[in-house]
Every structure is written in C-alpha cells, then in structure tokens.
Amino acid sequence: MLISTNNDLKRVTDVEQKAGRENNNQQKEFVKAITPKAVDYSQWYIDVILKAKLMDYAPVKGFMAIRPAGYALWEKIKEQFDRRFKETGHENAYFPMFIPQELLEKEAEHVEGFAPEVAWVTKGGDEILNEPLVVRPTSEAIICDFYSRWVQSWRDLPVLINQWCNVVRWEKSTRPFLRTSEFLWQEGHTCHRTEEEAEEEALKMLEVYRECIETELAIPSVVGRKTDREKFAGALRTYTVEALMSDGRALQAGTSHNLGQHFARVFDIKYLDQDDQLKYVWQTSWGVSTRLIGALIMVHGDDRGLKIPPRISTYQAVIVPILTKKDREKVLKSVRELSDQLKDVIRVKLDDREEYSPGWKYNDWEMRGVPVRIEVGPKDLEQGKVVVVRRDNGEKVSIVREELTTYLPRLMDDIQKDMLKKALEFREENTRSGSDYEEFKKIMETQRGFYLTPWCGDPECEEKVKEDTKATIRCIPFNKKLEHDTCLVCDKKAENAVYFARAY
RNA sequence: CGGGGCGUAGCGCAGUUUGGUAGCGCGCUUGGUUCGGGACCAAGAGGCCGGAGGUUCAAAUCCUCUCGCUCCGACCA
C-alpha cells in the first residue's frame, strides 16, 4: 500500500503535490501508523510496541532494548509484585548469572528440558575454560547448590528467597516481550520442612500472582495445574496463571512449581529435624516475567495503541495546553500551577513542548496509553474549567478546576475497574464449554478462546488435540466438575475438566 | 535443519528488467509563521548502494562467492 502511494506521488507534478495532496497523504499515513488489529494482529502488536517506544530490536536476533517507557512499566509492575512478596515473608537476594555445567546436569529432567536452549560461555579472555559455563536459563541449579550449604537444621527453614534478574534462553522463534532470548523476571526459590508446607507455598504464590495481575494489571485469568506434558522440567507439579489475549489466544502469565524433593536429593539439601533424622527439604519456585508487558498490550490495547491501567501507568494523566499566540503566557502559567497542584493526588505529566501541535500530542499520548488527558485552553480558562478525556473509552467531559483533586483519583479507580470489567467480559464471552470435538475444532480455527472440557488424562488425547488444532491444555482448574464427563477426544470417563486454548 | 523474501541516508522505500553524475517520503538541523485531533513556509545536513572478487571505457544495476536480517515450516515455553 505504501509503495503504490509513493509511486502515485512520484507521478504527479510538483504543482499538484503542493496543491494539497501532501496533506491528505499525511493524514492517511497516520492512520497507517498502527496496523489495525483486524488486518494483521501480529503487525498491530509490533506497531504498538514500536510506536509507544517500549522497546527496540537489538543487533542480535531475539534480543531487545527495553526503552524508558517500557522499563518504567516494568518498574511499576515489579513494585507491585515485590511488595506482595515481602508481605508474604520473602526476602530478595542475588545469585550468579553463570552456572557450571556440572551443576545444571545434576537433575536429569531439568537438563533435558533446558539443554536445547542454553547459551554457553566457553572462553574467558584468551583462555578456553576447563568447564564451560551456562548462562542461567533459570536458577534452580545454582541456587540449590547454595542452599545445600545454607540449610543445616530445621531451624533454618523455611528459606523464602526471591531474586529479580535476567535469564537467557536461546529461542528459535522470538517475539518482543512474549518470547525473547533474554528477559527480565523474578524467581522465588523456597525450601520447606514438609510436603504440605511446600504445596501451600506454591499455591499461595499462585494466588499472589493471580490477585496482583488482576488488581494491578486489570487482567483476569484462570488458574490451575499444568499437565505432565506442560509442567516445568524437574517439577513435581506446576501451577499456572493463564490470561486470554484479545485475539483469542492464551498466554501463560505466571507459574508456580512444587519441586518436591527432586532437586533436594540431587543437590543434597538436607536438614537435621527435631527427631534427630536427616531429611531432604521440599522446595518451590515461581516466576513472572517481562512477558506481562506483552499481556498488558494484548489484553487492553486497541487500534490507537496502548491502554495502560492507571495503577501501573507511569503517568496517570497528561496535561496538554492549547497555546495560542494571544493567550500563550496565561495558559502556560495556568497549566504549570495545575500540574503542581495535581502532583499531590496523581502521577501527572505536563506536556508543554512547543514544537508539537495539540492534535499531535493527543495522538502521541493515546498511542502511549496514558489513562487520562487534560486539555487546557483559553476557552477553559475563561470558564474555570478543563477538558478531561479518558483513554479507555474516549469519554470527554468538562470539569470545574477546583474539583479536579477529588475528581481525578476517583476517575482513576473507575478506569481501573472498567478496564478489568471489559477484559473480564471478553474472557467470559470467549470461554466456551462442551465436549463436542468437531465443534471444538471449529472454534479453535475461528474465534479461539478457552474451551472448558472433560479430559480423560491420557497424554495421547492431549497430543491428538495439539496435532489437530494446535491447541494445548492450558490448565486443569481446581474444583471444576462438568456434568458431562466423557473425554473430548476418546470415550473414556474423564476425571477432570481442563481449559484448552491455542497459546503464545 | 527445509522453503520463501530482503540488504540503497536515522526509519520506510524507489531506482536493478535495458550499466552512463544516487533519488523520494518521514524524521533531523536553522529561521519564521502557527497551535481545541499528527500545522505550514524557507534554507540545510545526511550515502564505501551488506562484503569480496570478476566482466566493462563505465557497475547500486550484469556474473561468481560470501555475510547478515526476516517470514513460513520443523523444534521449543
């Protein structure tokens, strides 16, 4: 499309160009700045993250720079999770990025799971290393090595440690934020005295994830257990938070694992219990990553760009002054006062750049997802009012200036609530239930979404669905019984209901 | 690993068929006029045409080799 536009342009004469066609063309260009979701969802996603300046591609495939706008978002998300981790008794620490090959190889299932995607360090300076080092794809191995020395007595338990760091997984196909070769995340690693306590921890953190993602990111989810096929390499059980993107595909937004004693046994993490017996600890690990930013974009974003929920938005409102020649100084003075005044109640940004027109700024801030825009021009000054525009639904109202300090915080709550509500409605509309395989196949082809259905538990049935439809079992929800109990694929009786979906 | 596509200014591209002084849009710089949904005028800056070899009086363009990126598939959370 762009190409033909350029060709057309080149064929017209200079005179014709100057006669106004340029103007028209520029307007069209802007509409094209973000590819509409309906035209090409993947392209929409890429356009949004680039236009909103969340990231930029690195010279190495699968890597990216997280730009200030994207990183600020991560910082806000991080803050919310970190607070909850501390509230549930965890402490932060930091472990090394390089893991000796020998350590990674201790847990058989674990190596096997990660081997295809580890990055190796084989040289230090000029020296070829005796034992190559693995760049952490996750830190179980190195942390367990430390824990084997740190844990001696039952009095040392529980160990409740979290770390914020980067990890590297050599991915074959990558997408910004959703799957990159390096990403930022948090990994909690805990040790417990009993199996029950570890299980309780794994489920507790799963709930922390679910609640935080819902409250702060305004993303509803379904939680449950992973099937053996989908569980973490080396875990006893894996639990997951699954969110539904606006194209009907599911995204794993967070996972929590009960590691059982698999790692404790191979890394020799033992404690002397009160009964004078040496026992292996029971462990958990759990993580969320910068993938949440991808979820945020795909759950809330629209054809104009990002929509950030107020609770995690870097700026909750942006003030755009309308600077006319006549009233320039008056308006500037007024918005500066307003900005100072609002700083006490919300995170506010004054955009007083003079090189951009108000219209340009509207589009720019909308693209970047700021929840509220406040317009202040000469007409507003006369009336002692300002214009307040919501990003989530476009609603535009004129508000008396004095009321803003009470109005805006309330508006932020409303927007947060409405965004969650909208996402929840979408989730519900796109969660279907049944056990008709033909209908299921059709749905996975078209609207997608979640499909809640009985499953006999046989990995072969799970595999067949994947081959036929590319859909996988996202999770086995807790306490979900269906009236109908014949497996979606075979005729066997099903113990559990599961959520199927095509996933990222 | 298999198949397709692309490397020309910061970004997006045209120019390659038919060899002949390297272009367009956006962005950037300076100055001015504007400012309630991506304003306009004027003047500028910016290129080893991915790399190496060859053919030719002459190569972005033709030939050979090579490197990189990307999409689809396979593999994988």
Res A123: pLDDT: 81
Assigned architecture for domain A310-423: 3-Layer(aba) Sandwich (3.40)
CA gap A333, A118 in Å, rounded = 57
Is it the case that residue A32 has pLDDT exceeding 70?
no
Element spanning A271, H or E:
strand A270-272
Quote helix, strand, coil % in chain A, to nearest 5: 40, 25, 30
Q: Which of residues 412-471 of A touch strand B (CB under 7 A)?
A: none
Q: What's the average model confidence in pLDDT over A69-95?
A: 97
Work out whether the CA dihedral A180, A316, A307, A359 comes out positive or negative.
Answer: negative
Element spanning A4, H or E:
helix A2-11
In whole angstroms, B22 C1' to A7 CA is: 18
- Residue A122: which pLDDT band, with cuts at 50, 70 and 90? confident
In whole angstroms, B41 C1' to A248 CA is: 49
In whole angstroms, B41 C1' to A9 CA is: 21
In whole angstroms, B46 C1' to A339 CA is: 39
CA dihedral A44, A49, A53, A58 (to 10 degrees): -110
Res A116: pLDDT: 84
Instruction: Identify nearest nucleotide to residue A27 by CA to C1′ distance.
Output: B38
Q: Whats the size of chain A, residue-wise?
A: 504
- From residue A83, how far is each of A87, A287, A484 by CA, in Å? 6, 15, 42
In whole angstroms, B71 C1' to A426 CA is: 30
Res A2: pLDDT: 26
- From residue A445, how far is each of A338, A438, A467, A502 by CA, in Å? 52, 11, 13, 9
Instruction: Identify nearest nucleotide to residue A10 by CA to C1′ distance.
Output: B24
CA gap A440, A468 in Å, rounded = 11
CATH fold match for the domains A64-300 and A310-423: no
Cβ contact A327 with chain B strand, < 7 A: no
Q: What is the mean pLDDT of chain A?
A: 90
Point out the least confidently predicted range of A6-10, A88-92, A114-118, A348-352.
A6-10
Bridge partners of A387, per DSSP, are A375, A398
Widest Cα–Cα separation across chain A: 95
Q: Domain limits of chain A?
A: 1-33, 64-300, 310-423, 431-501
Q: What is the DSSP letter of A457?
A: S
Please state the φ and ψ torsions of residue A42, each to the nearest 5 degrees: -65, -40
Question: Where does A431-501 sit in CATH, by number?
Answer: 3.30.110.30
* Residues A191-249: tens digit of each pLDDT: 999 999 999 999 999 999 999 999 999 999 999 999 999 999 899 999 999 999 999 99
User: What ipTM was predicted for this assembly?
Assistant: 0.85
Q: What is the CA A502 to chain-centroid distance, rounded?
A: 17
CA gap A331, A321 in Å, rounded = 7
Q: What's the average model confidence in pLDDT over A180-190?
A: 94
Cβ contact A38 with chain B strand, < 7 A: no
Classify domain A64-300 at the CATH topology level: BirA Bifunctional Protein; domain 2 (3.30.930)
Res A7: pLDDT: 29
